[in-house]
Amino acid sequence: MPFVSVGKENSDSIDIYYEDHGSGKPVVLIHGYPLSGTSWEKQLPVLLDAGFRIITYDRRGFGNSSKPTTGYNYDTFAEDLRRLVTHLGLKDFSLVGFSMGGGEIARYIGKHGTKGIKKLVFIGAVPPFLLKTQDNPEGVDQSVFDGIQKAVAADRYAFFTEFFKNFFNTDLLMGKRVSNQVVQACWNQAAIASPTASHACVSTWYEDFRKDLTQVDVPTLVIHGDADRIVSLHASGEKTAKMIKGAKLIIVKDGPHCITWTHADEVNSALVEFLEN
């Protein structure tokens, strides 16, 4: 399996697992919590058929990547992405981030600029800033994130069961746009994640990316479901689209958080059209 080394923890190498398929203009797909690069299975064949080279990777602590007890912050996540981009020698590439993956994009731009980047896509992504503060009164109260971390620490397997209900809005979409088997497969993927990563990543969800987004100067697409119970459209997608000059916002009607699965046709159509032109 292909890996890129991004550091060390004591005697062990920290390695990021990636997959590199197809040819054409490179597109890097960055997954959300608590999944892995395999969560892009609805997008991969469509983008390959459209003539793109598709790179997926597993964030440290998830999937087939190393599971260290350090580095669960967006400066490190962005550096891991930079190491992968450098390792593959990518040029004129696009970045597509779902949920937490949008944070990698924002911080990567904030630290390294947009040199070599062609386009950006944020899907149900956490930027610009989810935490409620004096200058962000529409954000989420700190106590909500603290409660999530406590639930993960107490019994992350039980937490994941409840989490995926809102990830897919199963009360409305089960049997229509998502199956029990899909939810179980996601739970299985979450269960193999590092316990440390599962807990530590929660506090990264409310990272402040507002300064990072001011440096975006390439074509940008924002896709967000209007029924997202994990990352609110109003707190996230709408604000990101307003902050980035010329960004296009596509709102998926009745779309939950994981629109990459439940509304894959709409998402894929928007992706291909945006990335091709």
Question: How much is the pLDDT for 1?
Answer: 77
Average pLDDT over residues 241-259: 98
Per the CB < 8 A criterion, the answer to whether 55 and 18 are in contact is: yes
For the cut 80, the answer to whether the pLDDT of residue 88 exceeds it is yes
* pLDDT tens-digit series, residues 140-168: 999 999 999 999 999 999 999 999 999 99
Give residue 185's Cα distance to chain centre. Answer: 18
Average pLDDT over residues 31-43: 98
Percent share of the chain, pLDDT over 70: 100
Map out the domains of the chain with their CATH numbers: 3-276 (3.40.50.1820)
Query: Active-site residue among 31, 199, 257, 263?
Result: 257
Query: Active-site residue among 15, 80, 212, 228?
Result: 228
Task: Extract the tokens encoding 264.
Answer: 């894959």
Reduce the DSSP state of residue 9 to 3 states and report it: strand
Whether omega before 127 lies within 30 degrees of 0, making that bond cis, reads: no
* pLDDT tens-digit series, residues 2-19: 999 999 999 999 999 999
For the cut 90, the answer to whether the pLDDT of residue 63 exceeds it is yes
Q: Is 228 a catalytic residue?
A: yes
Question: How much is the pLDDT for 138?
Answer: 87
Query: Active-site residue among 36, 94, 99, 194?
Result: 99
Question: How much is the pLDDT for 277?
Answer: 82
Q: Is 5 a catalytic residue?
A: no
Average pLDDT over residues 174-191: 98
- pTM for this one? 0.98
Give residue 100's Cα distance to chain centre. Answer: 4
pLDDT, mean over the chain: 97
Question: How much is the pLDDT for 22?
Answer: 97
Question: How much is the pLDDT for 72?
Answer: 98
Question: How much is the pLDDT for 98?
Answer: 98
Q: Is 155 a catalytic residue?
A: no
How far is residue 183 from each of residues 20, 28, 157, 163, 208, measured CA to CA in Å? Answer: 26, 25, 13, 10, 30
* pLDDT tens-digit series, residues 189-228: 999 999 999 999 999 999 999 999 999 999 999 999 999 9
Question: How much is the pLDDT for 135?
Answer: 94
Question: How much is the pLDDT for 94?
Answer: 98
